[in-house]
A = this chain, B = another copy of it.
Amino acid sequence: MRISELSRATGVPIPTVKFYLREGLLHPGQRTAPNQASYDASHVRRLHLVRVLVDVGGLSVAAVRSVLTALARPDLPLHDALAAAHTALPRDVAAVDERRAAARRETDAWLDTRGWRLDAATPARDDLAAALAALRQLGWEVGPEVFERYARAADAIAAEEIAYVAAAPDREAAVEATVIGTVVFERALVALRRLAEEHHSRTRFTG
């Protein structure tokens, strides 16, 4: 398969395929001559994965590279592969000021009470603290307990997700399911929450 066929098979323009090759998001093809190479199904699959991460997950090229790097380490235990995928995902966290630091201490303490076994440096902790700090900035005098309902829902979802991953036929499938699950189902969850909000809003506020 030459580059034009790869492009046609995936819908990705040739210049973009070249760009991904340069950026290391796509492994080089099998060289057949100094200026010829042939691509196969693995390249098609990889391109699809890259586009899903970029288009659906909203990941930057750098973030995609990090995720792919994590995927490519067959030595990594499953749990660490998931952690690597999470760390590679974007988390545009602003500077840590006093307000944010206080929020972080409180959310950490609250997370402890929930009984979750978490790494002390997990990036999602910052995101949660940022959410609390934002609420306070806007005048909501709340504590981390406002997240209780969300935490219970997240716990139920995550339990099933991990059970699903654990049932994967092999390690590679499990790791890939982890990455795809994190990115794609996150998007789906967000969409479903908005749809559910619309439903309840209509039910409650309209005649």
Residues of A within 8 A of B (CB): 11, 45, 48-49, 51-52, 55-56, 58, 77-79, 82-83, 86, 92, 94, 97, 111, 116-119, 122, 124-125, 127-128, 130-132, 134-135, 137-140, 147, 149-151, 153-163, 165-166, 180, 182, 184-206
User: Which of the residues B51, B184, B198, B205 comes within 8 Å of A135, measured between beta carbons?
Assistant: B184
| A-B contact list, 19 entries, CB within 8 Å | A79-B205, A82-B201, A86-B194, A86-B198, A111-B195, A116-B196, A117-B198, A117-B199, A122-B194, A122-B198, A150-B157, A150-B188, A153-B153, A155-B200, A162-B197, A162-B201, A163-B204, A186-B190, A186-B193
Number of copies: 2
CA distance A147 to B189 in the complex (A): 8
- Interchain CB contact (< 8 A) of A158 among B127, B157, B161, B193: B193
Most chain B CB atoms below 10 A, which of A154, A160, A166: A154
Q: Are A195 and B122 in contact (CB under 8 A)?
A: yes
Interface of chain A, main secondary structure: helix
A190 and B132 alpha carbons, distance in the complex (Å):
13
B155, A196: Cβ atoms under 8 Å? yes
Tell me, in angstroms, the Cα distance from A54 to B93 when the chains sit together.
11
